[in-house]
């Protein structure tokens, strides 16, 4: 029999719901949207509302809402968006204690009901939360993956396309490191239509784009006034989900467990990876200049100091 993939989305807030909606539209599988018992009815309502859009938009996917983790049984892919979001004035790191508690309880449930799933983590601070899921679940590292670089690169690509007035599709970007203000956008590896950006954009403008990318999450937090970004984060999760579900072997940045790569050990950090049916099939290592490595070290130190709060 040909079965649709089963995708569980944990957390039915703006990000989780948007993710489910895009997954449905792309017909990547049947979707179970999960939230806490106090939100059971709103979660069921959002799922049913999405289902009712499917005849109009023209997609087939069962989308259901639940507060019962048994409903994620044998999911192929689990996407975790659960947790509180930051408000203006907060950094992602201010969320660490609250969201670590949530992440541990989610990890126990996923381990019980979907022990063979591949897991994508979005909850912030994402590097530390991905590590928390990894430790709590005992899943192999290939199957515990965080999302940050696809989003950070998407922001970079957007700003470059706006600057050059060219298609976003022709712009590639490359961001390494933790999902914080000291992430490392690598201009040297970024192109528009195959042309290095350094040949197309003056240095001061490019520096400004790098800076805006670093603070891109905060820019949205300040504009929204009460919560953080969700459209671009959801789209980024779906791109990673698609790479895995369709075994596309895409080279995308992931938050991956490093065991020696880039000189770091026992640390989840954003690096280029090969994503396919087995999850992270490879961490791609690059030669970095001394300056780039120093920037990455600084970002890794920031992630470690957040992790230290947890221990
Ligand atoms: C961001 O918008 O970058 C988040 O981390 C939510």
Cβ of 117 less than 6 Å from ligand 1:
no
Q: Which two tokens stand for residue 83?
A: 């947790």
* 287 C-alpha to ligand 1 centroid (Å): 28
Cβ of 84 less than 6 Å from ligand 1:
no
Tell me the C-alpha distance between 240 and 254, whole Å.
Answer: 9
Tell me the C-alpha distance between 36 and 34, whole Å.
Answer: 7
308 Ramachandran zone, left/alpha/beta (phi>0; psi -120 to 50): alpha
Per DSSP (E only), the strands in 111-215 are 118-121, 144-146, 171-172, 175-176, 184-185, 191-192, 195-196
Cβ of 267 less than 6 Å from ligand 1:
no
pLDDT of residue 93: 86
* Residue 46 contacts residue 19 (beta carbons within 8 Å): no
Nearest CA to ligand 1 atom 4: 217
* 130 C-alpha to ligand 1 centroid (Å): 15
Closest ligand 1 atom, residue 216 Cα? 3
Look at residues 10, 13, 3 and name the one whose alpha carbon lies nearest to residue 62: 3
Instruction: State CA 176 to chain mean position distance.
Output: 14
* Alpha helices by DSSP H, the chain: 14-25, 40-57, 96-113, 126-137, 149-164, 203-214, 216-224, 231-245, 290-310
Residue 180: active-site member: no
For tokens 């989840």, the residue is 268
- Beta-bridge mates of residue 145: 120
* 198 C-alpha to ligand 1 centroid (Å): 27
Cβ of 147 less than 6 Å from ligand 1:
no
Cβ of 208 less than 6 Å from ligand 1:
no
pLDDT of residue 305: 92
Interface confidence, given as ipTM, is 0.92
Tell me the C-alpha distance between 310 and 278, whole Å.
Answer: 29
How crowded is the C-beta side of 275, counted as CA atoms within 13 Å?
A: 28
Cβ of 229 less than 6 Å from ligand 1:
yes
Tell me the C-alpha distance between 274 and 96, whole Å.
Answer: 28
Q: Considering 159, 179, 233, 307, which one is annotated as catalytic?
A: 179
* 215 C-alpha to ligand 1 centroid (Å): 9
What pLDDT tens digit does each residue of the chain (311 aa) get?
888 999 999 999 999 999 999 999 999 999 999 999 999 999 999 999 999 999 999 999 999 999 999 999 999 999 999 999 888 888 888 889 999 999 999 999 999 999 999 999 999 999 999 999 999 999 999 999 999 999 999 999 999 999 999 999 999 999 999 998 899 999 999 999 999 999 999 999 999 999 999 999 999 999 999 889 999 999 999 999 999 999 999 999 999 999 999 999 999 999 999 999 999 999 999 999 999 999 999 999 999 999 998 86
Tell me the C-alpha distance between 267 and 181, whole Å.
Answer: 18
* 233 C-alpha to ligand 1 centroid (Å): 7
Tell me the C-alpha distance between 135 and 140, whole Å.
Answer: 10
Instruction: State CA 253 to chain mean position distance.
Output: 9
pLDDT in tens, 26-56: 999 999 999 999 999 999 999 999 999 999 9
Cβ of 228 less than 6 Å from ligand 1:
yes
pLDDT of residue 94: 87
Q: Which two tokens stand for residue 211?
A: 């800076």
CB count within 10 Å of CB 98 equals 11
């Amino acid at each position: 029999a040909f079965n649709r993939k089963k995708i569980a989305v944990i957390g039915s807030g703006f990000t989780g719901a948007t993710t489910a909606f895009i997954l449905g539209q792309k017909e990547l599988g049947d979707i179970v949207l999960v939230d806490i018992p106090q939100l059971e009815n709103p979660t069921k309502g959002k799922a049913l509302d999405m289902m009712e859009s499917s005849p109009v938009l023209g997609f087939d996917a069962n989308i259901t809402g639940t507060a019962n983790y048994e409903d994620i049984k044998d999911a192929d892919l689990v996407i975790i968006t659960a947790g509180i979001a930051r408000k203006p004035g907060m950094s992602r790191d201010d969320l660490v204690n609250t969201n670590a508690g949530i992440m541990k309880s989610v990890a126990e449930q996923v381990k019980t009901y979907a022990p063979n799933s591949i897991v994508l983590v979005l909850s912030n601070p994402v590097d530390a939360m991905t590590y928390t899921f990894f430790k709590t679940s005992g899943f192999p590292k290939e199957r515990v993956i965080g999302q940050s670089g696809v989003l950070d690169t998407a922001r970079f690509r957007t700003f470059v396309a706006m600057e050059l007035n060219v298609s976003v599709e022709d712009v590639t970007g490359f961001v390494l490191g933790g999902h914080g203000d000291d992430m490392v956008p690598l201009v040297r590896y970024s192109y528009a239509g195959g042309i290095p950006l350094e040949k197309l954009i003056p240095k001061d403008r490019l520096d400004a784009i790098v800076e805006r990318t670093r603070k891109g999450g905060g820019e949205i937090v300040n504009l929204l006034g009460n919560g953080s970004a969700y459209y671009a984060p959801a789209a980024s999760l779906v791109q990673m989900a698609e790479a895995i579900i369709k075994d596309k072997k895409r080279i995308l940045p992931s938050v991956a467990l490093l065991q020696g790569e880039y000189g770091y050990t026992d640390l989840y950090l954003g690096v280029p990876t090969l994503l396919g049916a087995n999850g992270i099939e490879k961490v791609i290592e690059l030669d970095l200049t001394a300056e780039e490595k120093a920037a990455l070290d600084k970002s890794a130190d920031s992630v470690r100091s957040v992790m230290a709060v947890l221990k």
